[in-house]
Amino acid sequence: MPAAIVARSLTKRYRDQLAVDAIDLEVREGECFGFLGPNGAGKSTTMKMVYGFSPVTSGVLEVLGLDVRTRAREVKAQTGVCPQEDNLDPDFTVRRNLEVYARYFGVAAAEARPRADELLAFVALQEKADAPVMSLSGGMKRRLVLARALLNRPKLLILDEPTTGLDPQARHVLWDKVRDLRRRGTTILLTTHYMDEAAQLCDRLVIMDKAKILVCGSPAELIAEHARPSVVEVWQPPDALVTWVRARNLPCELVSERLFIYPESGDTLQREILGRFQVDQLIARRGTLEDVFLRLTGRDLRD
Amino acid sequence: MGTLGRIFTVWRRNLDVYRVTWKVNFLPPILEPIFYLVAFSAGLGGFVGTVPYDGREVTYTAFIAPGMLGISVMFQGFFECTYGSYIRMYYQKTFDAIIATPISLDEVILGELFWGATKALIASSIMCVVIRFYGLLTFPDLLAIPVVAFIGGFWFACLGMCFTSITPGIDAFNYPMFLVITPMMLLSGTYFPLSGLPAWGQTVAQAFPLTHLVEVIRQLSFGGWGPGVWARIFAFAVLSIPLAWLAVRSMKRRLVV
């Protein structure tokens, strides 16, 4: 399959700080590709380079077969961007926002109107077409930003933390739209802090930390490779339990008031613990992307 | 769509916003000259009587009307590309939204500058109509005033954009407002003839762009295309080029990181 994005030794340096450190990357056409990482890992900077917002310091970056350094305008013409912060025009109505934005892509007025209406229907905002943007809820604004990003019928869609701050209903609606677009063949680049979002949407993803890519693969691959198959979590474990787990040489972590144990079989261990100790809360579960993330990037706060 | 077309779409976006909020936008240029003319002609004018200008005596009202037009041009251009552009750049992230499309930052900034000039043109046109009711301006020379306002307004828009490119925050616009704009507003032959200033003050005033803008408008308002009108208009147009270049370059340094 041809590549939508190719990066070789892609580097971004801000004055004295290395934001992206010689990363290699290949995003296939038509896939939904995720960027995960703690704050300051370099995800957003990478995205900004991809859509020509931030100049590349060194390395190769080709988007849709075009060198971003010299042909940014052509790249931008085929790319849709949902930025992290809403930057809708507060003085316009919902529909007017789309019509004015369509002009920036050179879409004629006669064409912009039906296209705006079609996209408003797609994001279920047709009833709000004449409402002022100020009156929209956070979820509606995000959907409008998504609609705006689709005005130029992009081959590549960039979603920078698309569901941050949304309620669960709004997140699910947005996820449905993203899946819908992916089915239609749009290549999607997504950053997120939500592991469930990445697991739900991404065909493949990278986890970045400290300006570098740590791992790359499908959610299932990453879980199989980097997470333990089963996890038993115990809240406020009694000291005797901790001693017992350590004496049996079971891999474990004690994080504030929680004990994480990584046994071969969660069920067996769960029964054993419940039989021997008095514990208030215990769950046995499978390894998740969140375990992979925390294992690779640590539990320390970043900012 | 070429570069000019892209600059035009940025300009049109601002015009569209202006049309949504036009009632608020029209109010200052209509009311300001009325207030000032009432205060100065009815109030101060009675004490001042006539003012010497260009070898003759003119009424005080006729003297300050062009001064107010010049001040308005300066304010419209400068305000639009300081406070206005800063709000769009920093608070509304409008520039970020636009440069995610095939439009580049250079084109956004040029669109903003032309918009600042356009606001000066609109405001001066409204003021001309109001001042005309005082019987002060004459056809067809008054038709040249909005054109001059556009050219002069562009220059002040460029100046404003240069400050926008380096300001640490919106409050810091107080510095150019009080150190550059206010002295110019008061000492550019706007409210009293330059001959009222001491010799050194007159020399300094000659360095103020507003002095020359007001002089052009005043000559036009007295129906004269006297010496220096064309030269001054030409100078504003020519000096806009390096200033626009500096504004664009400095904004790119601020925003492209």
Residue percentage of chain A with pLDDT more than 90: 62
In angstroms, the separation between the Cα of residue B23 and the nearest Cα of chain A is 14
In chain A, whose CA is at the least distance from the CA of B20?
A91
In angstroms, the separation between the Cα of residue A178 and the nearest Cα of chain B is 20
User: Do A263 and A149 belong together in one domain?
Assistant: no
Please report the DSSP string for chain A in residue order. Answer: --EEEEEEEEEEEETTEEEEEEEEEEEETT-EEEEE-STTSSHHHHHHHHTTSS---EEEEEETTEETTT-HHHHHHTEEEE-SS----TTSBHHHHHHHHHHHTT--HHHHHHHHHHHHHHTT-GGGTTSBGGGS-HHHHHHHHHHHHTTT--SEEEEESTTTT--HHHHHHHHHHHHHHHHTT-EEEEE-S-HHHHHHH-SEEEEEETTEEEEEE-HHHHHHHHS-SEEEEEES--HHHHHHHHHTT--EEEETTEEEE--S-HHHHHHHHHHH---SEEEEEE--HHHHHHHHH-S----
In chain B, whose CA is at the least distance from the CA of A47?
B100
Q: Name every chain B residue with its beta carbon within 8 A of the beta carbon of A54.
A: 256-257
In angstroms, the separation between the Cα of residue B230 and the nearest Cα of chain A is 37
pLDDT of B69: 93
pLDDT tens column, A200-227: 899 999 999 999 999 999 999 999 888 8
Q: Does residue A91 lie in a domain region?
A: yes
| Better pLDDT: A267 or A142 | A142
B14 in contact with A, Cβ within 8 Å: no
Query: Whole-angstrom Cα distance, residue A160 to residue A54?
Result: 15
Interface of B with A in 101-140 (CB under 8 A): 101-104
Q: Does residue A157 lie in a domain region?
A: yes
User: Do A16 and A61 belong together in one domain?
Assistant: yes
What's chain A's average pLDDT?
Answer: 91
Q: Does residue A15 lie in a domain region?
A: yes
Q: Does residue A293 lie in a domain region?
A: no
Domains held by chain B: number: 1
pTM: 0.91
Q: Name every chain A residue with its beta carbon within 8 A of the beta carbon of B97.
A: 83, 87-89, 101
User: Do A188 and A240 belong together in one domain?
Assistant: no
Angle between helices B144-166 and B105-132 (to 10 degrees): 140
Beta bridge partners of A230: A286
**Which residues lie closer than 8 Å to A252 by C-beta, 6 or more apart?**
A245, A246, A259, A260, A261, A262
| Better pLDDT: B45 or B89 | B89
A180-198 as b/e: b if 16+ CB within 10 A: ebbeeebbbbbbbebbebb
What's chain B's average pLDDT?
Answer: 91
pLDDT tens column, B68-78: 999 999 999 99
User: Do A58 and A91 belong together in one domain?
Assistant: yes
pLDDT of A303: 64
Domains held by chain A: number: 2
pLDDT of A249: 87
pLDDT of A227: 85
User: Do A70 and A201 belong together in one domain?
Assistant: yes
Peptide bond into B140 cis (omega under 30): yes
In angstroms, the separation between the Cα of residue B9 and the nearest Cα of chain A is 6
A137-173 as b/e: b if 16+ CB within 10 A: eebbbbbbbbbbbbbbebbbbbbbbbbbebeeebbeb
Q: Does residue A235 lie in a domain region?
A: yes
**Residue A47 buriedness (CB in 10 A; 0-12 / 13-18 / 19+):** buried
Residue percentage of chain B with pLDDT more than 70: 100
Is there a contact between B9 and A90 if contact means CB atoms under 8 Å apart? no
Query: Whole-angstrom Cα distance, residue A119 to residue A131?
Result: 16
User: Do A235 and A251 belong together in one domain?
Assistant: yes
Query: Whole-angstrom Cα distance, residue A70 to residue B130?
Result: 52
The domain in which residue A118 lies consists of 3-224
Output the six-digit token pair for B178: 């009080």
Q: What is the rounded average pLDDT of the residues A242-262?
A: 87
pLDDT tens column, A32-65: 999 999 888 999 999 999 999 899 999 999 999 9
In angstroms, the separation between the Cα of residue B116 and the nearest Cα of chain A is 18
pLDDT at A277 over 80: yes
pLDDT at B92 over 90: yes
pLDDT of A302: 67
User: Do A30 and A179 belong together in one domain?
Assistant: yes
A109 in contact with B, Cβ within 8 Å: no
pLDDT at B115 over 90: yes
B17 in contact with A, Cβ within 8 Å: yes
Mutate which of B10, B92, B101 to disrupt the A interface (most A C-beta within 10 Å)?
B101
A153 in contact with B, Cβ within 8 Å: no
Whether the complex's predicted ipTM is more than 0.85 is answered with yes
Q: Name every chain A residue with its beta carbon within 8 A of the beta carbon of B102.
A: 73-74, 76-77, 104-106
In chain A, whose CA is at the least distance from the CA of B93?
A87
Residue percentage of chain B with pLDDT more than 90: 68
Split at pLDDT 50, 70, 90, the class of A267 is confident
Query: Whole-angstrom Cα distance, residue B202 to residue B181?
Result: 17
In chain B, whose CA is at the least distance from the CA of A102?
B101
B253 in contact with A, Cβ within 8 Å: no
Split at pLDDT 50, 70, 90, the class of A165 is confident
User: Do A55 and A193 belong together in one domain?
Assistant: yes
User: Do A16 and A142 belong together in one domain?
Assistant: yes
Q: Name every chain B residue with its beta carbon within 8 A of the beta carbon of A103.
A: 9, 12-13
Alpha-carbon dihedral sign for residues A283, A285, A289, A295: positive
Q: Does residue A298 lie in a domain region?
A: no
Q: Does residue A22 lie in a domain region?
A: yes
B20 in contact with A, Cβ within 8 Å: yes
| Better pLDDT: B11 or A291 | B11
Beta bridge partners of A253: A260
Query: Whole-angstrom Cα distance, residue A38 to residue B42?
Result: 68
User: Do A214 and A261 belong together in one domain?
Assistant: no
Of A224, A245, A271, the domain-final residue:
A224
In angstroms, the separation between the Cα of residue B169 and the nearest Cα of chain A is 19
Output the six-digit token pair for A207: 């986890």
User: Do A47 and A86 belong together in one domain?
Assistant: yes
SS3 category, B134: coil
pLDDT at B29 over 90: no
B9 in contact with A, Cβ within 8 Å: yes
Split at pLDDT 50, 70, 90, the class of B45 is confident
B98 in contact with A, Cβ within 8 Å: yes
Output the six-digit token pair for A83: 């930025």
The domain in which residue B125 lies consists of 3-255
pLDDT tens column, A98-155: 999 999 999 999 999 999 999 999 999 999 999 999 999 999 999 999 999 999 999 9
User: Do A107 and A75 belong together in one domain?
Assistant: yes
Contact predicate B159/B243, CB 8 Å: yes
